[in-house]
Amino acid sequence: MLLPLRMLLLCVHFVLASLLGLLVSICRPFNPDNSRIAARFYAVPAQYILGLRMRLDLDGVLKHQRPAVIVANHLSNYDLFVFGHAVPHRTVTLGKTSLKWIPFFGQLYWLAGNVLIDRGNAIQAKKAMLTTTDTLQHKDMTIWVFAEGTRGHGKGLAPLKKGAFQMAINAGVPIIPLCANNYVRGMSLNRWRSGTVAMRALAPIPTAGLTLDDMPALMAKCHAQMKACIDELDREAGTTSHKA
């Protein structure tokens, strides 16, 4: 009985949080802090609706020196409610253009100043990347990227895509790896305490002076650090795979 009740409450909460965030964004369209405020609207109530225990070590991302590129692992659709705790001031995200068609949420996402990218249109994607580079260099903002490009569903960290690293190198800003345990492995929404989310921000990885020739090594370094951190968080939270 707990699962359907939680799903119902979560759906109602999603609509209400989207409407509230949309109202804020209409009052101050494209304000770079809209995303952080909307993220809290989603995350804080959802933590209690879902019955998640949160273990957060986020000073490295919430108190970071702007600008930067945040690279986070992507686990499930619940990430909207989980990672909302970790969005710092003046942060926007990169997302697919298809997001704009989600009622209320899509309009909020656009008005919050996030960047929509059509991955099937190379010209538009390149233009969006140039825009984000300018944003990082001149507008005192941070960009958040789920660099795997797709949800992992608790199967571990997938290879990282180039976009986030290209942006960081072109703008000369650091990369901040942000890691969450594979919480979906152990999450059971039929239990009162459904699971544990452990999240940690790692030390910034500088990119000043690097060129695109250095990108493969930079990507490998970031991936190795994130994988080691996620494995540690899994052990701490008890979400280690049975195959591990």
pLDDT greater than 50 at residue 68 = yes
pLDDT greater than 70 at residue 131 = yes
Confidence (pTM): 0.91
Confidence of residue 244 (pLDDT cuts 50, 70, 90): very low
Highest mean pLDDT: which range of 7-11, 104-108, 159-163: 7-11
144: β partners:
70, 93
Confidence of residue 182 (pLDDT cuts 50, 70, 90): very high
- Structure tokens that stand for 165 in this block: 């690293």
Average pLDDT along the chain: 91
The whole-number pLDDT of residue 241 equals: 66
The whole-number pLDDT of residue 141 equals: 92
List the one residue out of 83, 71, 101, 103 whose CA is nearest residue 35: 83
The whole-number pLDDT of residue 243 equals: 44
- Structure tokens that stand for 122 in this block: 């190379």
The whole-number pLDDT of residue 113 equals: 86
Alpha-carbon gap, residue 116 to 211, rounded angstroms: 26
Beta strand 175-180 with 69-72: parallel, antiparallel or unpaired? parallel
Which of the residue ranges 2-6, 18-22, 121-125 would you say has the lowest mean pLDDT?
121-125
List the one residue out of 106, 115, 102 whose CA is nearest residue 163: 115
